[in-house]
Structure 1
Amino acid sequence: MAEHSASPRAIWKGAISFGLVHVPVALHTATSEQEVDFDWLDKRSMDPVGYKRINKRTGKEIAKEHIVKGVKLEGDDYVVLSDDEIKAAYPKRTQTIQIEAFVKATEVSFVYIEKPYYLSPDAKAQRVYALLREALEAAGVIGIARFVLHNKEHLAALIPAGPALMLGTLRWAEEIRSPDALDLPQAGAAANGLKPAELKMAGQLIAQMTAAWKPEQFKDDFTSAIHALVAAKAKAGKKSTVKPFEDAPDGGRSDNVVDLTELLRQSLGSKSTKAKAPAKKGAAKSATRSTTRSKKAA
């Protein structure tokens, strides 16, 4: 179980925010990649093989300072962007997981799910962290939020999962391709000439194979076979030493701590006085006040 636990080192620190409430948290990777990583090596010397910046026209290597970033248009045209222009176009770096709405978990299609993370509470936010987790569990909802990680804005779902709050990044709607261009059969049994007997037999087969979801029963057999092969060759002395990759740097930090319970009460009062206003606008105004308070506190 230890190999599947969250990394003790945070890759991001900030706060969950909704209404006037901030819950200081740290973000941890919730998964570990299991596939075999095949590195390129020079078979003559067993040295690692790297990548060079090559001018495709001349074949010559060029220095990093001579490289600019270009976005291809139609034909052979490009728009060149400077680093300053790119930074200005990026979402501003924030330390907030800004919840915009709460929805039923069943309403979010698996198609949108991307990558899961664990959220751990700041030492002074344990009680409010637990309060939010239990409230989400009791209501049967998840929070839909935005946050910025590595200079990129992500859509995410805040999900209660046992003792933890998890944050799952979601794909944006425009990233999901439409199936309209595919040659798919029409929806409905009649449209495909399916007979009742055929549907019954298919249903019986599905029923026989239906079981409780137990993820530990499913193993990556291919990766296990490759690891076994590598272990056998290593035991036979057929191995070489290569340099390890550098560790990734720590994420940003946030030390903002406020009276969370009181802000929760204020948020409830604010919501009740503005019940006639659209929910999204009310959340946006509350988030603005929350961000302002956070900046002043910092």
Structure 2
Amino acid sequence: MRAIWKGAVAFGLVNVPVRLYAATGEHEVRLHQVHREDGGRIRYRKVCSVDGESVEWSDIAKGYETEDGELVVLTDEDFRRLPLSTEREIEVLEFVPADQVDPILLQKTYFLEPDKAAVKPYALLRGALEETDRVAVVKVAIRQRESMAVLRVRDKVIVLQTLLWPDEVREADFPVLDDDVTVRPQELTMASSLVESLAADFDPSQYEDAYVAALEQLIAAKVSSGDTQAPPAPPSQEDDTEGGGEVVDLLAALQRSVDKARAARGEDVEETPAGADEATSKPAGKKPAAKKAASRKATKAS
């Protein structure tokens, strides 16, 4: 496993250097979206809704829209200025009975591994949690997101489980449950008998994901029967525009850029068919007002 975070648990006057590891991972069969006709991978581009052009990751910022429709743009520098007092520290706030933490609050689970020089204070914290049957309520910042969390013991390892903030748990508002319902003693006795007939100690290892197992068998059967195909080769840059959609998109984007630059210089914009060579395009000239307006409208639509 690879550590995703390094810091320390602040336990009173004791500091326990630790590394954080993801304790869980989803078991899934990775599937790609492909074109049914030729098996080509389906790609997604990040496109600006204003000018229709592709945007590089380095040019993307985060924005917040206010209630009155105004946009607030937040940059990486803005986020760096935000205070994160627990950025490299797991700050123990209090110790509470384990049964007082509502399971609905629990999120992701992580393993805490101590540094070699911190095994003794780590064992001290672990023993205190086990002896008192309590969990430690802490604050921690992971990937620039501050969270509440709890520390508890699983086998010999201290695990950290992040918690939802209280206002992130929705209220269950179901008026139908306020209606008076009469349950007869015989019905309650029968329901209790059914529960007892299915009572057992929980052993998650006896269950399996039947869907994933069936999907893996389906894929294996197709492979063994030869029902496969070679992945298609990526289109060559020398291909004509009729055979490569990406080339058409590139030319269209270039044309929009040219039109935008001409408009910025106050020149008339002339529509150029997708795939046409810029050298063969007619230079923009004076046109009647109505024709110019129609040309601009067509350019925006493209």
TM-score, normalised to structure 1, is 0.71
In structure 1, distance between residues paired with 2:121 and 2:63: 46
What is the alpha-carbon distance in structure 2 between the residues aligned to residue 158 and residue 68 of structure 1? 35
1:117/1:239 CA distance change after superposition, 3 Å: farther
Give the superposition deviation at 1:54. Answer: 1.1
- After TM superposition, list the pairs within 5 Å mapping 1:196-275 onto structure 2: 196-237=185-226, 238=228, 240=230
Note if contact 1:104-1:142 (Cα within 8 Å) is conserved in structure 2: yes
* CA distance in structure 1 between the partners assigned to 2:23 and 2:160 by the alignment: 9
Which structure's CA Rg is the greater one?
A: 2
Provide the C-alpha distance between the structure 1 equivalents of 2:155 and 2:10, rounded to a whole number of angstroms: 21
Unpaired segments of 5 or more residues in structure 1? 1-6, 243-298
Specify the alignment match of 2:128 in structure 1.
135
- Deviation of the 1:88 alpha carbon: 1.7
Structure 2 CA distance for aligned equivalents of residues 215 and 70 of structure 1: 43
Which residue number corresponds to residue 34 of structure 2?
Answer: 41
Identity of aligned residues (%): 32
List gaps (5 residues or longer) in structure 2: 233-302
Change (3 A) 1:91 1:73: same
* 1:22 shift after superposition: 0.7
Aligned pairs for 1:32-181 (under 5 A) are: 32-43=25-36, 46-64=39-57, 66-74=59-67, 76-89=69-82, 91=84, 94-180=87-173
Question: Contact conserved, 2:109 with 2:161, CA < 8 A, in 1?
Answer: yes
Deviation of 1:26 (Å) = 1.0
Deviating above 6 A after TM superposition, structure 1's stretches of 4 or more consecutive aligned residues are none
State how far apart, in whole Å, the 2-side matches of 1:146 and 1:34 are: 29
Q: Is the 8 A contact 1:12 1:27 kept in 2?
A: yes
1:195/1:144 CA distance change after superposition, 3 Å: same
TM-score of the two chains, using structure 2 as the length reference: 0.70
DSSP 3-state at the match of 1:85 = helix
Greater relative contact order structure (CA < 8 Å, 6+ sep): 1
Give the Å deviation of 1:228.
1.4
Q: How far apart in 2 are the matches of 1:155 and 1:240? A: 49
1:113 maps to amino acid: L
For 2:16 and 2:140, how far apart are their aligned partners in 1? 14
* Matched pairs, number: 231
CA–CA distance in structure 2, aligned partners of residues 130 and 97 of structure 1: 16
Q: Deviations over 1:47-90 (max 9, x none)?
A: 44332121234433234455432112225332222221222236
Question: Conserved in 2, the CA contact under 8 Å of 1:102 and 1:143?
Answer: yes
Label 1:15 to 1:240 Cα distance change in 2 as closer, same or farther (>3 A).
farther
SS at match of 1:51: coil
Of 173, 178, 187, 1:186 maps to 178
Change in Cα spacing, 1:95 to 1:62, as seen in structure 2 (3 Å) is: closer
2:64, 2:110 → 1: CA distance?
32
1:42 Cα deviation after fit: 4.0
2:106 and 2:142 map into 1 onto residues whose CA distance is 17
Offset at residue 172 of structure 1 (A): 1.1
C-alpha distance in 1, partners of 2:5/2:58? 30
CA change 1:103–1:203 in 2 (3 A) is: same
Contact 1:90–1:152 (Cα < 8 Å) also in 2:
no
Equivalent residue for 1:13? 6
Contact 2:86 2:139 in 1 (8 A): no
Provide the rounded CA distance (Å) in 2 between the counterparts of 1:239 and 1:103.
58
Deviates more, 1:123-132 or 1:68-77: 68-77
Of 25, 43, 51, the residue aligned with 2:18 is 25
In 2, the alpha carbon distance for the partners of 1:90 and 1:47 equals: 46
In the superposition, relative to structure 1, how do residues 14 and 184 fare at CA in structure 2: closer, same or farther (>3 Å)?
farther
Q: Describe the SS at the equivalent of 1:185.
A: helix
Give the letter for the 1:236 counterpart.
S
